[in-house]
């Protein structure tokens, strides 16, 4: 298994470990894709009330076939749910694709119930492999998929360098944050940051990610709405 695969696996483990068992919970997966991972989240929580939000119609249809109640829409805009509706919101590898982060966080806060929580995971701009790329004058690995013209811009070491871009334009990265940057941002939107976990620590696998999320490849946050 490659370094990146192990980091992905650890990141998913971190997300699932932050979810609390609650059979009555309403779960929303923002950016639910085909619903496969959404169902894993629901299994951990042990809930049957599973919702998803997705921008790509083909993916949304696949998620619906798996029993996810999918709303088709853009996460840069208003989310089509009433205030204080969800107990749990999960959003994995989504925030870096958005051009209106403020709107996204406002909406997550609005639709969460008081006392509810969100688990948000993303790539880390301050990971060692991104820092190394910048030192070489390359684009950081986490900001190479920014054009439909190619899979990787400005970094010949990136996994998809020289390949065609493989998906919808919504899969492009718009902005990538550091751990401290996201902690500050979440607190500005009145979230209480309860937990920060790291995954991937290139080239050392996951050995150090549990003690240093500030330089891990992926970072995951558990945020509580306390008001």
> And the tokens for 79?
């989310």
Q: Is 138 helix (H, G, I), strand (E, B) or coil?
A: coil
| Spatial contact of 86 and 116, defined as CB atoms under 8 Å apart | yes
Q: What's the length of the chain?
A: 227
pLDDT the model gives residue 2: 86
**Does the CA dihedral 125-126-129-134 come out positive or negative?**
positive
C-alpha dist (Å) from residue 144 to 133, 135, 156, 216, 218: 11, 15, 10, 18, 16
Residue 200 and residue 127 in contact, taking contact as beta carbons nearer than 8 Å: yes
The model's pTM is 0.94
Q: Residue-wise pLDDT tens for the chain (227 aa)?
A: 488 889 999 999 999 999 999 999 999 999 999 999 999 999 999 999 999 999 999 999 999 999 999 999 999 999 999 999 999 999 999 999 999 999 999 999 999 999 999 999 999 999 999 999 999 999 999 999 999 889 999 999 998 888 887 666 678 999 999 999 999 999 999 999 999 999 999 988 899 999 999 999 999 999 999 98
Residues 36 and 65: their CA atoms lie apart, in Å, by 10
Cα–Cα distances in Å, from 55 out to 8, 58, 59, 94, 119? 22, 9, 8, 11, 20
The whole-number pLDDT of residue 54 equals 97
Rounded Cα gap, residues 125 and 131, in angstroms: 8
The pairing of beta strand 86-92 with beta strand 26-30: parallel
Angle at which helices 101-111 and 179-188 cross, to 10°: 60
Residue 67 near residue 52, CB atoms below 8 Å: no
């Amino acid at each position: 298994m490659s370094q990146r695969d192990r980091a992905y696996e650890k990141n998913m483990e971190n997300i699932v470990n932050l979810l609390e068992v609650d059979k009555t919970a309403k779960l929303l997966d923002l950016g639910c894709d085909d619903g496969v991972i959404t169902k894993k989240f629901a299994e951990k929580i042990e809930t049957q009330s599973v919702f998803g939000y997705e921008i790509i119609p083909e993916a949304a249809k696949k998620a619906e076939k798996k029993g996810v109640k999918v709303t088709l829409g853009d996460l840069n805009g208003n989310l089509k749910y009433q205030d204080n509706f969800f107990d749990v919101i999960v959003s994995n590898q989504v925030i870096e694709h958005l051009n209106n982060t403020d709107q996204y966080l406002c909406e997550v806060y609005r639709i969460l119930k008081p006392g509810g929580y969100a688990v948000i995971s993303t790539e880390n701009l301050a990971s060692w492999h991104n820092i190394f790329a910048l030192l070489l004058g390359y684009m950081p690995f986490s900001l190479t998929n920014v054009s439909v013209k190619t899979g990787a811009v400005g970094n010949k070491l990136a996994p998809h360098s020289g390949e065609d871009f493989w998906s919808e334009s919504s899969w492009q990265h718009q902005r990538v944050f550091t751990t401290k940057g996201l902690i500050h941002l979440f607190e500005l939107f009145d979230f209480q940051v309860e937990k920060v976990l790291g995954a991937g620590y290139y080239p050392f696998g996951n050995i150090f990610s549990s003690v240093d999320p500030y330089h891990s490849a992926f970072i995951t946050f558990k945020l509580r709405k306390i008001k």
